[in-house]
């Protein structure tokens, strides 16, 4: 359950994961649309009342007139009053709906919003809300009416704004005030959307009984990209196709990469914005004052008591009152000391959680990468057995020697590159985990690695039998990126081993035992010896 008034990065990330699961369950675009609107309708709640925040959730998509069924075509023809209709004219279709009223849970029961022909901008302006949605999103009316295939890539790489109406009552851009907004207590409206590789628009609208802050709306930019990623596997369905007979797998993959890139950029921007706020002097002062006011009564009372006894001592010259005056001050300093100790404990616990999470990734999901990396080294010669028997100083020397890294061959480098592809989600999960737990650890590097893996995946799709490293050798910039990713991966692994050896030797030997027992490790060692 998610509270729109107190929406967090963790909530944003969890919704993204859930939408990915819905994509896997859906058999077609209709099922996916229904599941998505129902998901948002069921899971957005007011934590104070326990009631659902959403009154109505709807998903719209644009389709060409030629792809509509007979009933929808007749509706469009009736709306246009026998005007000539072009087959490629865009129509905004209600794809799915979920709401508090029974008739709001079926698209067939919608009278006024089932289909909207978009023949021209003048016609679009007649629907104030849709027109404002497109304007506020920054999509551009021309991109909806007449999408240019040449600009599709640029549009796909964009992160669009969020349609946000913080105060719905009396707002001219939300019609049906007396029939819908006021009777159902609508306080805010929010919409997210974007463009698909076919040039079609998708838009998800949420009408809420709870007020939606601007910070929450900004976080939904990321969720818009998650919705887009969920829809992408279905874009080669015939109903989506406009200018092309079909969307190729390569085009779909490129679109997916563009969306993932945008998703990473939103994560990056959001994380940096939070960091900027935390570093802002005014913000820090406000945060400090907020915390201080919660315990100010204690400090004021203690200081007041101490001043009182000092005043009594000044009047009476009784030494005992000096001892009494010192007690509140001692309590005050004791409270401050305890606060510092608790803060240090919190940071230590955070560092401990980070260590265990990294250990999990190194021991399982990233293990094959580092086994391949170690066995591909020409210099320095590093093996799991040598690491296991090395002292802390010897381990530090191994790390220092790795600054001058050399690999046996291009083929050995290709072995490492190949292991990065299935580890994509491991790197992505680690990036999300650091964001959620507000840990500044290698965020920029994670984005760099994810972009690298996306490039490798696309190349492998087009050239399944050609090693990526051979292509990289032709371009200096690409080869530089390959060496950077491989080398920094090894550096971080060795750095972690040094840290683990010093802080938690038991966990250090457990990790190495897993590497020794790995079938992948045995196979790589066998192949290395034979070569």
Which residue in 21, 110, 20 sits closest to 60, CA to CA? Answer: 110
Q: What is the pTM assigned to this prediction?
A: 0.57
Contacts of 67 (CB under 8 A, 6+ apart): 238, 239, 240, 241
How high is the mean pLDDT of the chain? 79
**More confidently predicted of 157 and 37:** 37
Neighbours of 264 (CB within 10 A): 21
pLDDT tens sequence across 339-396: 677 777 777 777 777 787 788 888 878 889 999 999 999 999 999 999 999 999 999 9
pLDDT of 168-214, one tens digit each? 999 888 888 999 999 999 999 999 988 877 778 889 999 999 999 98
How much is the pLDDT for 281?
A: 44
pLDDT in tens, 220-259: 888 888 888 788 777 654 433 333 344 555 555 555 555 5
Q: Identify the pLDDT of residue 396.
A: 93
Q: Is 465 helix (H, G, I), strand (E, B) or coil?
A: coil
Whole-number Å distance between alpha carbons of 42 and 51: 10
- pLDDT higher for 330 or 206? 206
- H/E segment holding residue 459: helix 443-462
Bridge-based pairing of strands 188-195 and 201-208 is antiparallel
| Statement: residue 260 has pLDDT above 60 | no
Mean pLDDT of the 410-434 span: 86
Q: Please give the C-alpha separations between residue 340 and each of 178, 326, 333, 344, 446, in angstroms, as whole numbers.
A: 56, 21, 11, 6, 32
Q: How confident is the model at residue 296 (pLDDT cuts 50, 70, 90)?
A: low
Share of the chain above pLDDT 90, in %: 26
For 494-514, what is the mean pLDDT? Answer: 90
Q: Are 81 and 64 in contact (CB under 8 A)?
A: no
Paired tokens of 170: 């009396």
Q: For the ranges 332-341, 425-434, 491-500, which has the lowest average pLDDT? A: 332-341
DSSP annotation string for 100-116: SSGGGG-GGG-SSSSEE
């Amino acid at each position: 359950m998610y509270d729109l008034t107190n929406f967090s990065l963790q909530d944003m990330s969890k919704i993204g994961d859930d939408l990915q699961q819905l994509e896997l369950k859906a058999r077609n675009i209709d099922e996916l649309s229904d599941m998505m609107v129902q998901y948002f309708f069921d899971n957005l709640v007011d934590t104070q009342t326990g009631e659902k925040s959403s009154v109505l959730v709807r998903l719209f998509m644009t389709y060409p007139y030629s792809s509509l069924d007979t009933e929808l075509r007749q509706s469009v023809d009736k709306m246009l009053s026998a005007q000539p209709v072009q087959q490629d004219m865009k129509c905004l279709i209600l794809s799915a709906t979920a709401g508090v009223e029974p008739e709001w849970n079926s698209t067939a029961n919608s009278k006024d919003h089932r289909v909207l022909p978009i023949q021209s901008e003048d016609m679009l302006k007649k629907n104030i809300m849709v027109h404002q949605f497109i304007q506020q999103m920054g999509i551009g009316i021309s991109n909806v009416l007449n999408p240019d295939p040449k600009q599709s890539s640029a549009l796909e790489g964009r992160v669009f704004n969020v349609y946000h109406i913080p105060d719905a009552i009396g707002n001219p851009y939300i019609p049906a005030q007396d029939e819908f907004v006021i009777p159902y207590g609508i306080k805010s409206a929010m919409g997210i959307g974007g463009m698909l590789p076919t040039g079609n628009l998708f838009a998800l609208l949420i009408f809420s009984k709870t007020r939606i802050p601007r910070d929450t709306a900004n976080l939904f930019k990321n969720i818009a990209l998650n919705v887009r990623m969920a829809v992408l596997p279905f874009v080669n369905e015939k109903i989506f196709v406009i200018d092309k007979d079909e969307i190729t797998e390569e085009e779909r993959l490129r679109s997916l990469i563009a969306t993932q890139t945008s998703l990473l950029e939103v994560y990056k921007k959001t994380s940096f914005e939070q960091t900027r706020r935390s570093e802002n002097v005014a913000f820090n002062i406000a945060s400090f004052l907020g915390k201080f006011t919660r315990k100010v009564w204690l400090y004021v009372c203690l200081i007041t008591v101490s001043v009182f006894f000092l005043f009594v001592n000044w009047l009476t010259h009784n030494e005992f009152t000096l001892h009494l005056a010192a007690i509140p001050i001692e309590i005050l300093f004791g409270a401050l000391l305890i606060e510092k100790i608790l803060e240090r404990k919190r940071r230590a616990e955070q560092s401990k959680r980070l260590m265990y999470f990294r250990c999990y990734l190194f021991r399982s999901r990233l293990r094959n990468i580092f086994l391949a990396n170690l066995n591909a080294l020409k210099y320095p010669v590093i093996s799991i057995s040598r690491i296991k028997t090395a002292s802390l100083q010897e381990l530090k020397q191994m790390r220092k020697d790795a600054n001058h890294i050399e690999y046996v061959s291009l083929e050995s480098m290709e072995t490492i590159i190949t292991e990065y592809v299935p580890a994509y989600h491991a790197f992505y999960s680690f990036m999300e985990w650091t964001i959620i737990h507000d840990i500044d650890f290698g965020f920029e590097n994670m984005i760099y690695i994810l972009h690298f893996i996306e490039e490798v995946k696309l190349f492998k799709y087009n050239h399944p039998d050609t090693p990526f490293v051979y292509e990289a050798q032709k371009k200096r910039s690409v080869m530089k990126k390959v060496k950077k990713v491989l080398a920094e991966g090894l550096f971080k692994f060795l750095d972690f081993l040094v840290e683990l050896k010093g802080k938690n030797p038991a966990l250090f030997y457990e990790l190495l035992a897993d590497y020794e027992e790995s079938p992948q490790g045995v196979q790589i060692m066998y192949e290395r010896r034979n070569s």
